Amino acid sequence: MNLTKSIPTALVTCLCLLLSLSSCGPKQVEEINIGYIGPLSVRAVDLGVDPSNAMQLAIDQYNANRADGEPKINLFIEDDQWNPKNAIPVYNKLREEHNVEIVFVSNTNSNIRLQEKILEDGVILVNPLNNGKQLNVLNKNTFQVAKDTEQANGLIAIRIIELGLKKVALFQFPNVYMTRASEEVERLLDNANIEIHVVPTEVGQTTFKKQLEQLKSEEHDAYVFFGYKEFGFAMKEARDMGITAPFFGSTVLLDPEFYNNSEGAIIGTEYPFFTPADGNRILVNEFLADFEKQFNKKPVSVWPTMQAYDATNLVLSRVRTINQSKDVDSPFDDWLRESLLKVNYYQGICGNIAIKKEGGSKGIYFSLYKYDSKENPIVKVKR
């Protein structure tokens, strides 16, 4: 027997066996594709452009610092123009071209339209802007890491009650979010025996003179504008016809086009908002510095940008563990859903966030602010 030849042969055989056994182990997840659907043009761009930038920043930071065994994350962005009719086409594009397994969707109406699709595809949907009763009853693959619709907009009703106002006109944009906001204000004012007249409007409507003339004749002493930049025209028309009653608005008042359309009539409007002072100031300041460094600008509206950053990082904190915590036979959406539902304390820039059993979040709380001037539109209301 030639011992010198048999030893290398045995070593080769052992190495081949080891390689064969290792190849039978669970395959590592090396990359995960995430999609974002939001308004980059037409309407409510402050709810889309900077939030998508914040998501890209979070993902860039994650990829630059990820450890061995943690998957690379890729982000793909689509513009829905804040129109729910575009939700399914752009979602299908993200699935067909990039096979996204997680999709962030800002528009509440779009969330509703995508419910069947995400279940069929085993995709997890995250809303990084809106949260509340309407979204919390959607399917098991839908999550919200955001403000509470009822809490934020209820501040307007509470303020009207504090001021002793008795007859309120509320202009409502026809989408789910503004409808839920209006219903919450109406509920609280009804409980306080305050008269409220909800004024329905149309998408793209730019003149409101007929409605305003009627409301003026009825002597309403408060005007609430729950809608987007087109309501700036309504503010201007109201002031031009001599309506001096106080104005109240929603969380989207800082769209620059809102001010432009109002020609300054927006000044003095009180609205719910979220600033660094409402969150973790130290973490927020670090985020804003990083944001400005990467994109050479500050966010137009800070709250949707901050929420998108938190929502992305919270999801990434779960995804980074996939190769250690996911059973090889478990579907991706089942694994991520169960992982997200275990989040009880996540220290974000907006606050300490928990995920409730129905998929909504808690821990982000808005305050009341005033549009003081074009240069200084965010001033906390003293109460």
Question: Which backbone phi and psi does 54 adopt, to 5 degrees?
Answer: -65, -40
The pTM (predicted TM-score) of the whole model is 0.87
pLDDT at 195: 98
Tokens representing residue 132 in the block: 């509340």
Q: Are 46 and 3 in contact (CB under 8 A)?
A: no
pLDDT computed for residue 380 by the predictor: 96
Distance CA 206, CA 131 (A): 29
DSSP state of 28: P
351 vs 129: CA distance, rounded Å: 15
> Mean pLDDT across the stretch 170-194?
96
Least confident piece of the model among 13-27, 80-94, 166-180, 291-305: 13-27
Question: How confident is the model over 96-153, as pLDDT tens digits?
Answer: 999 999 999 999 999 999 999 999 999 999 999 999 888 888 899 999 999 999 999 9
**11 vs 288, more confident:** 288
CB atoms within 10 A of CB 341: 15
Nearest to 366 by CA among 275, 300, 293, 299: 275
pLDDT at 10: 52
Over pLDDT 90: what percentage of the chain?
89
At 13 the pLDDT is 54
At 321-378, the pLDDT tens digits run 999 999 999 999 999 999 999 999 999 999 999 999 999 999 999 999 999 999 999 9
Average pLDDT for residues 209-225, to the nearest whole number?
Answer: 97
Q: How confident is the model at residue 4 (pLDDT cuts 50, 70, 90)?
A: very low
Q: Which residues pair with 172 in a beta bridge?
A: 200, 226
Other beta carbons less than 10 A from residue 224's beta carbon: 32
Q: Give the number of residues written for the chain.
A: 383
Q: What is the predicted pLDDT for the residue at 133?
A: 85
Q: Model confidence at 8, in pLDDT bands (50, 70, 90)?
A: low
Looking at residue 23, its pLDDT comes to 47
Instruction: Give the mean pLDDT of the chain.
Output: 93
Buried b / exposed e along 59-88 (16+ C-beta atoms within 10 A): bebbeeeeeeebbebebbbbbbbbbbebbe
Whether the per-residue pLDDT at 7 is higher than 70: the answer is: no
Q: How confident is the model at residue 21 (pLDDT cuts 50, 70, 90)?
A: very low
CB 235 within 8 A of CB 262: yes
Q: How confident is the model at residue 11 (pLDDT cuts 50, 70, 90)?
A: low
**For position 137, what pLDDT does the model report?**
87
What are phi and psi for residue 24, nearest 5 degrees? -85, -10
